[in-house]
């Protein structure tokens, strides 16, 4: 099947090479990697495959650029981010189409990500000029204390495929604002949005070497030596807990500063005093955003037994009516999953739950044909042993489980090694505070099905990782504190 001209034009506009020291290069080994359209399974384009020598060159470029970039006026660092935000906003339709082609979700959802991802550039353009230190008189009045905030130094960023732009801008924007240089490795399945972003940042005036982009078939071979390289000063990773744990081990060799944005298993709690219609709308957003392939996706719905039937039926009606198809088609709300493995895992989890007695109120099967589609699914009567209650589903499947009281709801919510986000629907103010305080998560959506916001500190606890992206906290990941003890002659 040939690619339509409008789509080909968008793909043609993206650089296909590695960005090292301000120059676009082929991979040193002369190899390429294929980027696939998950709605057809066909190759969209071939791009450069970086070798470890390319990785070394990229880190050299970042290291060479570090001092001058850290010394660059904060206002100008902010202006570069602001210009890039403007260009992304102006070209949002084209960038959304590009994202849909490589990742699958609907163009409307991609456009929402383009807006969200760009917002980190605007937010941190404003934070760049607010990195302040501290001056103090010691308690004994002797001398003075000066606290400086300095860029951490060259950073390594590794990002996943599920939000091809935003997972990059959440790291790149605060690093630029703080005066850090960087080497970025996007996921091999969705590198095009990141390459487009690099091109935009270059045109916005980012000096050579500040941002270096490597795409590769073998991420371990490429990034392992860089994580062990003493010129690198920080690793920020977004991806699975399994890979995060492995990278932590590698980073421990040189005690590299690390931020980890890892997997989730978000509970969605609906109490009997909740506005059920609002809870259903929130549930659709929390579950179906990004085809369920979000670390913040509601993984399991715990609903007070008195309202569980009403909630389940209303949710099934909403989810069952969603149009499945190629993300570029009009009216499509549910695109394909990223690949056949991911779809196979979702199907395996549903089969396990059904085998233990769950009922598919709607959906429950793979969709035939090209591409990696799965039916939007709601499962009732899910047994406590079902794997999808403890494992990250990463697909359009909503299991519903009843609870009898607040203690049981909290017990369910916290019964996981993950701790990224939880959603709570209640109109009882006292309960809202009690439950928010006792949830073991980094974020809570109270009567809302989405928490992402560039102005907020995004991040998890427990095995969902540590570190925060966005908000005033986001810049902290990219500055070191230096204390100068002063004697005044």
Binding mask 167-206 for ligand NAP (x = CB under 6 A): x-----------------x-xxx-----------------
Residue (of 411, 414, 390, 389) closest to 400 by Cα position: 389
Q: Smallest distance from the beta carbon of 226 to ligand NAP, in angstroms?
A: 9
Point out the residue whose Cβ comes nearest to ligand NAP: 239
Residue 166 in contact with ligand NAP, rule: CB under 6 A: no
Residue span binding ligand NAP (CB under 6 A) among the ranges 100-108, 239-247, 300-308, 358-366:
239-247
Site residues for ligand NAP, window 102-131 (CB under 6 A)? Answer: none
Q: Which two tokens stand for residue 185?
A: 């490795």
Q: Smallest distance from the beta carbon of 369 to ligand NAP, in angstroms?
A: 24
Residue 271 in contact with ligand NAP, rule: CB under 6 A: no
Residue 49 in contact with ligand NAP, rule: CB under 6 A: no
Show the beta-strand stretches assigned E in 273-355. 298-304
Among all chains, which residue has been given the structure tokens 């709601």? 378
How far apart, in Å, are the Cα atoms of 381 and each of 232, 268, 411? 50, 16, 18
How far apart, in Å, are the Cα atoms of 245 and each of 66, 250, 262, 296, 459? 28, 9, 9, 19, 16
Cβ proximity to ligand NAP: between 66 and 238 the closer is: 238
Q: Are 151 and 103 in contact (CB under 8 A)?
A: no
H-assigned helices in 356-489 = 387-390, 406-414, 429-438
Q: Smallest distance from the beta carbon of 42 to ligand NAP, in angstroms?
A: 19
Site residues for ligand NAP, window 363-402 (CB under 6 A)? Answer: 392
Q: Smallest distance from the beta carbon of 438 to ligand NAP, in angstroms?
A: 21
Site residues for ligand NAP, window 247-266 (CB under 6 A)? Answer: 261-264
Q: Which two tokens stand for residue 317?
A: 């009606």
CA distance 431 to 272: 11
Residue 295 in contact with ligand NAP, rule: CB under 6 A: yes
Residue 246 annotated among the catalytic residues of the structure: no
Residue 261 annotated among the catalytic residues of the structure: yes
Query: Sheet harboring 298-304: ordered strands across?
Result: 359-362, 377-380, 397-403, 298-304, 266-270, 421-425, 443-446
Site residues for ligand NAP, window 52-91 (CB under 6 A)? Answer: none
Q: Which two tokens stand for residue 413?
A: 């919510």
State the first-to-last Cα distance of the chain, in angstroms, to the nearest integer.
79
Residues with a catalytic annotation lie at 261, 295
Q: For binding to ligand NAP (CB under 6 A), which residues are involved?
A: 158-163, 167, 185, 187-189, 219-220, 223, 238-240, 243, 246, 261-264, 295, 392, 420, 460, 464
């Amino acid at each position: 099947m040939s690619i339509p001209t409008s789509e080909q034009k968008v793909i043609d506009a993206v650089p296909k090479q590695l960005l090292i020291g301000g120059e676009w290069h082929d991979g040193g080994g002369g190899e390429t990697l294929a980027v696939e359209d998950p709605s057809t399974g066909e190759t969209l384009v071939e791009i450069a495959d970086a070798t470890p020598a390319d990785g070394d060159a990229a880190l050299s470029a970042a290291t060479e650029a570090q001092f001058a970039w850290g010394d660059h006026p904060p206002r100008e660092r902010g202006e570069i981010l602001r210009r890039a935000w403007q260009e992304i906003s102006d070209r949002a339709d084209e960038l959304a189409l590009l994202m849909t082609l490589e990742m699958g979700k609907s163009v409307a959802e991609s456009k929402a990500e383009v807006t969200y991802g760009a917002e980190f550039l605007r937010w941190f353009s404003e934070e760049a000029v607010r990195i302040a230190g501290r001056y103090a008189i010691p308690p004994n009045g002797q001398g003075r204390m000066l606290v400086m905030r300095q860029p951490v130094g060259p950073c390594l960023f590794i990002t996943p495929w599920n939000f091809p732009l935003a997972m990059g801008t959440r790291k790149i924007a605060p690093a630029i604002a703080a005066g850090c240089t960087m080497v970025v490795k996007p996921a091999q399945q969705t590198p095009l949005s990141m390459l487009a972003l690099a091109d935009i940042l270059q045109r916005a005036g980012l000096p050579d070497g500040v941002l270096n982009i490597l795409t590769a078939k073998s991420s371990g071979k490429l990034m392992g030596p860089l994580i062990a390289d003493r010129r690198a000063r920080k690793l920020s990773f977004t991806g699975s807990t399994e890979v995060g744990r492995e990278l932590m081990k590698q980073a421990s060799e040189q005690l590299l500063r690390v931020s980890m944005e890892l997997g989730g298993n978000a509970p969605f709690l609906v109490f009997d005093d909740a506005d059920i219609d609002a809870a259903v709308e929130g549930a659709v957003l929390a579950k179906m955003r990004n085809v369920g392939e979000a670390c913040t996706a509601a993984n399991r719905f715990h609903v007070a037994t008195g309202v569980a039937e009403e909630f389940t039926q209303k949710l099934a009606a909403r989810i069952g009516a969603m149009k499945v198809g190629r993300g570029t088609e009009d009216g499509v709300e549910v695109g394909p999953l990223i690949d056949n493995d991911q779809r196979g895992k979702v199907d395996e989890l549903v089969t396990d739950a059904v085998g233990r007695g769950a009922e598919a109120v709607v959906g429950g099967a793979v969709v035939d044909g090209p591409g990696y589609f799965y039916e939007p699914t709601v499962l009732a009567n899910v047994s406590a042993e079902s794997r999808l209650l403890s494992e990250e589903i990463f697909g359009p499947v909503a299991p519903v489980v009843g609870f009898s009281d607040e203690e049981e709801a909290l017990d369910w919510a916290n019964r996981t090694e993950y701790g990224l986000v939880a959603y709570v629907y209640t109109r009882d103010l006292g309960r809202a505070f009690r439950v928010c305080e006792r949830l073991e998560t980094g974020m809570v959506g109270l009567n809302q099905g989405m928490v992402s916001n560039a102005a907020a500190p995004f991040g998890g606890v427990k095995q969902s990782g540590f570190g925060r992206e966005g908000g005033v906290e986001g810049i902290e990941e990219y500055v070191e504190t230096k204390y100068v003890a002063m004697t005044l002659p």
